Structure formats: structure tokens, C-alpha cells
Chain A
Amino acid sequence: MLFVTIDEFPSSLAHRIKEDLVAIMRKRGIAALAIGASALLIAGCAPGQLEDDSPQGVQTANPEDFAGEALTYMYFTDGPDEEATRQLIRGFEDMYDVTVELEILPYADLVTSTLNRLSGGNAPDVARLTSLTDFRSDLLVLDPYLGDDYADEFLAGPVQAVFNENDEMIAVPSDLTLNGPFINVNLFEQAGVPIPEEWTWEEMLAAAKEVKDATGTPYAFAMDKSGHRLSTILSQYGTYLLDSDGNALDIEKAEEALQPLIDMMANDDMPADFWLGSGSRYEGANEIFLAGDTPIYLSGNWQVAQFAQNAAFEWAVAPNPCAEECGGFPGGKFMAAFEQSENPALAAEFIRFMNQADNQETFVTIAGALPTRTDLSESGVTYADETTQAAMDVFLGDLRVTPEAGFASNANPAFSASATNLVDAVSLVVSGATDLPSALATLSRQIDDLVAELGS
């Protein structure tokens, strides 16, 4: 037997061993007391609440707890989504016996108005946002209200953007957008050019020029003047402005991706005036498409509802062209609550209500948006009419092949400013002020500076 008891030792030795053990126990006891006291002291001086690492389950709220309370929801609208939101708010008010004040403001004022209200200590309880960059430190941590596992209900891509540096959830991805090409079916049919099930960039541009030549449209291809839309092409050629660590621009791949656009603008196959004539402002090319001036228009799924209402011709969504990668480039909106909210529990409950499966389905169906919930994405969503359904099915199909890196790029705090710089770089080349490699080299340096300023 390997172990022996103290009593088996000679009595003098056993006595000394007992004394040593008692001494050690005493010393350890003092050390333990000292450590405990230090811990209490440090906890007492901690700058904030100590973190509780134990996992929190998805909590449920009792509607009766909120009866008679009120919250404000700051909102911008893309059109049909407003009616969907109002409808859902009515349901929330009825269920919880609360009042929700919907404050609609122009999209252009969203960031500045929200910042001003935060400065004045008058933040809305909940806001619909397109980017969390300017508000990260002001957003309410939702985990205590919605649980640690709540994020699992959403697609892995869009949910990447909603965590803070402590890995806490500070927003919920409420709807998803994806960029993709719209086709004027009438023009394609008139030109006798088939619309393929899949194509490369070369094939798509060749088809566009063929339709232009056959039908006499002013342009072959149009796209919104937007760094986000340009990122679609970068993504398909296997490069991004940013990844989760910082600058991810591969200049050679970017050159390969963007040169065809520059050439098309030089050849009047794409409207250069449209690109140059609006300075640093965003400009949508939807009116060019609606006027029937181009057979292909690169934009995103938020145009579907508008085209369903206003297009005087048959249109469709084609799959994004493939190069090194397939799929589109993602974007979307978030619902977030603010730490300043006087009723954070109600705000969090409102966010949960608006994004539960049945309500999100209602919203995306009416608004013509893509769901962010995993269950809805897997089951699919039934839209109002056949054209919309067909278009959204193409976007949903593209979403499945969209690289995860696109979501990471879009979630980077420096994305918005980098995308603006990408537009400036392309504009410089289109105007003839510089060549594409030089413009991209400058862009890469600008992205480094932005990452240093804004973080990753």
C-alpha cells in the first residue's frame, strides 16, 4: 500500500509532523482570509457591475408587468415597411396594454438626430438602425432580458454585427438585405437574349451589351452609386474592403473586379454622368431602370416592393453573377434599445416581440425584405404576389451562397466610411484624374487610417 497514516510513524516524528501541518493550516487560513478580503476590496472598487459569467436562459416576460407603460420607437421607412410596423405595433399594444409612440424621421437624419437626442438625455427607447458604429457605447445590453441563447435564433451572418467587445448582444438583426441584379425581361425578350439560371460577370455584361445594341437603350448596365453595391463585385472577385481584423483589400482582385465598370462608363455602356454628377451624395439608379433605359440594374431586394408597384414592364431578379465567389453582398437593419431608456425591460420585450417568427414573417412579407431568423430562412416566406415571390426566392437562394466574409466586412465599424472612399476612388478614375491601381493603393491607405480611428 502506498499511503500510510501518521500514527504509523514513530511518536516523536508523528508529533512534529502534526505540528507542521497545524502551522501550514494556520498560514493557509491567513492567506485565504487575505485573498478573500482583497477580493472583497477589489469588488468594492470595481468601476462597474461585476460580470456574471453564468449563462442566462431565454427569459419570458409577463405581459401584465408592463400594463400602462409607454415607449418610443424611432423609425425610418423604406416605404411599405411602415404599414407592417404599424400593424405589429398595434398587436404589441393590445397584448401588453402599453403605448408605443412611433417617431418616423428621414433616413438622412437618422444618425444626427439620434446622437442629438442622446446628447440631450432624451434618447428613444428603441430605434431602427442601419449601422451600430456611432452608437455602440450607448446601446442596451440585451442578454439580461433576452438571454444568452437568443442570438442563436438568427442567421450566423447578420448576427455577427450585434455583439460588443464583451461579446454581449446590443441589437437584433431585424431584416436582411442582399444586393443583386434586376432584369428588364421585356428588353431581353425583345433582343432575343435568354436570361440564364447562372452566369459569370463576363457573360452578364456581354448579355447586357447585346440587349442594348438590339433594343437601342441608352445604357447596358446601371448600378447605384454606392460603396456597398461596389462591394458586391469585390466580394464576387474574392476580396473585401474589410474583414473582422481590419483592411482586407486585395488590390489586384479589386482591379480585376472594377476595371470592367470603368471601361463600361468610358464606353457609355454605363451612365458616367450619373456617377460623377452627384458628388459625394448617394444616388440610386432605380429611375434609370424604371424608365427602361437599361436592361440590367444592380441594386438590392428593397427595390422589389417599389418595382412591383411602379414598373411599367415585366421585370425579374437574376442570380448574382459568379467570379471567384457567388452570392451577393449583405446589409440590413437592426433594432436596438438605448441604455438611457427609462424602461429597458419593455424596450427589450418590444424588440423580442417584433422579431418573433410570426411577426418577422409579417414584416418581411409586407416590406419585401429577407428574414434574419434561421427558422424563417429555412422554411421560406410567402410573399404577396408571384413576381415578388419569384424575386425574393432568387435573393434567398443567393443568400445561401453568399460568403460569410461579406457579413464580417459589412459588420466592421469602418465599413461605411471605407465604402464612401471606394466610391470616391472609382469616381476619380472615371473622371480621368488617376488610374485604377493608384486609386486603389490610396484607398487601401485610407482604410488603414479608418481602421486605426474606428477600430475593427
Chain B
Amino acid sequence: MTTASTTTARPRRSRWTGGGWGIKIAPYLFLVPNMAIFAVFTIYPAFNGFNMSLYESNNGRTFRWVGLENYGRILTDVEFWNVARNTAVFAVGFVVLSTLIALVIAALVNAQRRGKTFFRAVFFIPVLVSPVVVGLIWNWMLERQNGLVNTGLGWLGTPPVPWLVNGTWAMVAIILVGMWMQVGFYMLILLAGLQSIDPALYEAARMDGANWWQQFRVITVPLLQPSIVVVVVLGTIHGFQSFDFIWTLTGGGPVGATTLMVQYIYENGFQSPIRYGVATAGGVLLFIAVFTLTIINWLISRRREAV
């Protein structure tokens, strides 16, 4: 006996999307190529870095087990603590200044009725320039005697600033240049956040008599918080990992005043005497610092969201 089916015919399921197992596995299969590359070129080197930090090697081929000796050596090294202090000062200055300036620029660009795309591109251009080139350009511009910046300041009657030969000014210089280099990227993130805020909220606030500052404080900042957290996290990572433009701008000088953690790692790993174990131990400490700060940022932002 044949019966007419009352159910609508289901489309034929393909091998990878039809069955329960197939539909579960398909997304992971799409991820496999990327994850394989990530595992080979990121995860494995990272774990190998942890491993190498427990050995001593001066050629990358022969290793001698030293346990935690490399960490002990770093933590009792006066230079390391100078470098750690420099890195903290730079990271705080860079993150705070970059976030504030990026926020101001994003607000200004967002307020433009015309030319928004043009300004966005202008502020983004430094992000596209090689950090090494950025360092070289600013090294020339910040030269005390013939630099463009001091020449300009001279026209305003200001005496030459020892940007690159005084420790404090050199730190100011690398914070400003780092900010100049990255602020366009952060501005784009914040601009996207600003553009996602419903204009009706501002309109309602204006009708209630809120001034510009009140609108900014009560509407913009709270609704922009997820974007600000992203900028702060990225800024912290950038701040702690900065090296290339500083190397060509100040070389970590004068007398180590702008030597940051990555340069310390580089000098131990690639300059005589080569100490791969100490360099990788420094890398592990840097990872722990950045990871801890990222977690703290995330926890703070979560708590604020809950409030």
C-alpha cells in the first residue's frame, strides 16, 4: 500500500551539513587551516619559549638545563629593574595619552558634516608607515640643533629642547611619537563606537537641556566603554611591546633612559654575549605582565558593565 505523505519533503542534506555530527564538525573544519598555522607559528614557539627559558644556550643548538636560574639572573639584574620602570612609565603615558587624544580626534571627526572620510584617512596614514621609518624621521625632526621641531620652537622664542639627549625628554619624545604612530588606529575604533550610538539619545538629552559636557559624560562615555576597553587593551599590548621605532629613534638612550623590555630581550638574544635563555625568560616575564594587565582591564570593564 502506498500512502501519500502529509509531510513536506525535506531538502537532501549534504554530507557535511545534513547530519547532526556533520553540522557540528563543519565549522571546526573551516577553522582547521587557520588553527594549524596558528599552532605551528604561534602556539608551538610560545610553549617552546617557556621551555627555552629554563635552559642556557649561546647558539640556539646546544642547551644546558638551568631551571629557574635565568629568572633569578633577570630579577637580580639592576638593568632589568630600570628597564621595567621605563616600560611601565612608557606604557602608562602611551595608553593614557593615546586613548584621550584618539577620543578627542574621534569626537571631532564624528562631528564633521563633510570630509569625514578625508580626516579619517589623514589620521590613519601614520599607522601605515613602517615603525623603523617613523623612528628615523622623528630622530631627524627632534635633533637638538638642526631638528625641525626645535627650529619651529625657536621661531616661537623657545630655547632648544634636548629631546634625544636628556633622559626625561627622551621618554616624552618616545611617548609622543608612539602616540602619533598609533592614534589613528585607535581613533578608527572609537569612531566606529561613536557612530553606533543612537543620535536620538543626544536629541533627547538636548531637549532636556543637557550641555555638551553632560552629553559626553552621560551618553558618550558609557556607551563607548566597550570600544574604550578595546583601545586600552590594545594600547597596553602595544605599549609593552614597543621596540622598533624606539630603536631607530633613541636606540634606548640616552644611557638607557628609553630602553624598554623588548630591547632588553633583543640585546640579550641577539647581541654579544648571546644569551637565549635569559632573552626567553625576559619574554615570558613580559607575557605574564601583559596577560595580567589584560585580565585586570577585562575584569574592570565587566564590573562596570554589570553596574
Contact = CB atoms under 8 A, between A and B. Distances in A.
A309 interface: no
A131 B272 contact: yes
Interface stretch (A109-117, A209-217, A386-394): A109-117
A316 B251 CA distance: 32
B58 A134 contact: yes
B280 interface: no
Interface string B247-260: 10011111110110
B250 A279 contact: yes
A273 interface: yes
B280 to A, nearest CB: 14
Interface string A220-240: 000000000000000000000
B89 interface: no
Contact of B272 (A138, A281, A416, A427): A416
B273 A454 contact: yes
Nearest to A426: B255
A115 B60 contact: yes
A276 B165 contact: yes
Contact of A272 (B165, B256, B263, B267): B165
A450 interface: yes
B59 A115 contact: yes
A453 B253 CA distance: 26
Contacts of B164: 273, 276-277
Contacts of A133: 272
Interface in B57-92: 58-61
B195 interface: no
How big is the B interface, by class? Answer: 20 to 34
B259 A279 contact: yes
Interface in A138-167: 138
B76 to A, nearest CB: 13
A433 B255 contact: yes
Contacts of B244: none
B247 A281 contact: yes
* Overall SS of chain A's interface: helix
A279 B171 CA distance: 12
Contacts, number: 86
A420 interface: yes
A195 interface: no
Contacts of A310: none
B46 interface: no
- Name the residue among B61, B167, B258 with the largest chain A CB count within 10 angstroms: B61
B238 interface: no
A110 to B, nearest CB: 11
Contacts of A281: 247, 251-252
A151 B247 CA distance: 41
Contact of A119 (B60, B143, B251, B272): B60
A138 B60 CA distance: 12
Contacts of B270: 111-112
A454 B251 CA distance: 25
A114 to B, nearest CB: 10
Contacts of A450: 273
Interface of B: 58-61, 139, 143-145, 162, 164-165, 167, 247, 250-256, 258-259, 263, 267, 270-274
Give 3 nearest A-B pairs by CB, closest first. Answer: A279-B251, A279-B253, A281-B251
11 contacts: A111-B272, A115-B60, A134-B58, A134-B59, A138-B59, A273-B165, A277-B251, A281-B251, A420-B272, A424-B255, A450-B273
Interface of A: 111-112, 115-116, 118-119, 131, 133-134, 137-138, 272-273, 276-281, 414, 416-417, 420, 424, 427-428, 431, 433, 450, 453-454
